[in-house]
A = this chain, B = another copy of it.
Amino acid sequence: MTATDKQAFHARLLEIGKERYHDKHPFHAMLHGGRCTISQVRAWVINRYYYQSRIPMKDAAFLSRCDDPDLRRAWRSRIEDHDGGTEEGGGIRRWLRLAEAVGLDPDYVASTRGVLPSTRFAVDAYVAFVRERPLLEAVASSLTELFAPKIHSERIAGLLEHYTFADEAALAYFRQRLNEAPSDVEFGLAYVLDHADTREKQDAGAAALTFKTDVLWSQLDALYSAYVTPGRVPPGAWDGREGVVREPVAREAAE
């Protein structure tokens, strides 16, 4: 593989994001544009929690298959970033702060009881993928992080502008990801560009990233199908009431 081949492969990966990343999904436009009801925001928080909660398990599955200590050392911070310490910190706790801000009982959200089955199937498919596929593909599937900073920035701006619950504490998850993701993705991208040294491996890497965009897209489809229109909640999923402890307080009123 020449430097030109590598560049072309890099461009191919970026193209996958341009075409398939979930910032193209109508649910995101609704969310960032302030057109979600508080119930729809809550449904998103409840379901997206399931994804957050499985990321450290996914990364642990990755570590469990790495026989290179350097690779394990570089990758391990992802688990720390999401899980935090025994007492505080970490993306999962920050996500639960968002849950509180939208008026949900964080213990209810953490129980994952109301999560849509389709959310579960998509997220579990991601964990299984990383547990079972070649390391190159496992790393490539993480490269949706290439496209995340833009969506996080849009989300912070859009949520702050449109929703009374949104303040810096509620949105700390996204702010922190803006700090963490760039170095993670720099490492992952370099790994994939270096290790995909045949056309076949490039194809496998591109397929892995495509798979991951499907995992993200499928979660928003599930939300849209259950809670937007025609709003048909599957048996057993969150009914719009369970776990709701209070209505969000307007920022002005709280000050």
Interface residues of A (CB under 8 A from B): 19-20, 24, 26, 117-118, 120-122, 124-125, 128, 210, 213-215, 217-218, 221-222, 224-226, 229-230, 232, 234-236
Contact = CB atoms under 8 A, between A and B. Distances in A.
Contacts of A26: 232
Contacts of A117: 122, 214-215, 217-218
Given A117-B214, A218-B121, A229 B232 contact: no
A214 B229 contact: no
Contacts of A234: 214, 217-218, 221
27 contacts: A19-B235, A20-B235, A20-B236, A26-B232, A117-B122, A117-B214, A117-B218, A118-B122, A118-B218, A118-B221, A118-B222, A120-B125, A120-B214, A121-B122, A121-B124, A121-B215, A124-B128, A125-B125, A210-B236, A213-B235, A214-B236, A218-B234, A221-B232, A221-B234, A224-B225, A225-B225, A229-B230
Contacts of A118: 118, 121-122, 218, 221-222
Contacts of A217: 117, 234-235
B214 A221 contact: no
A198 to B, nearest CB: 23
Contacts of A20: 235-236
Contacts of A210: 236
A209 to B, nearest CB: 12
A92 to B, nearest CB: 22
A120 B19 CA distance: 20
A225 B236 contact: no
Identify which of A20, A121, A224, A232 gathers the most chain B CB atoms within 10 Å of its CB.
A121
A52 B92 CA distance: 38
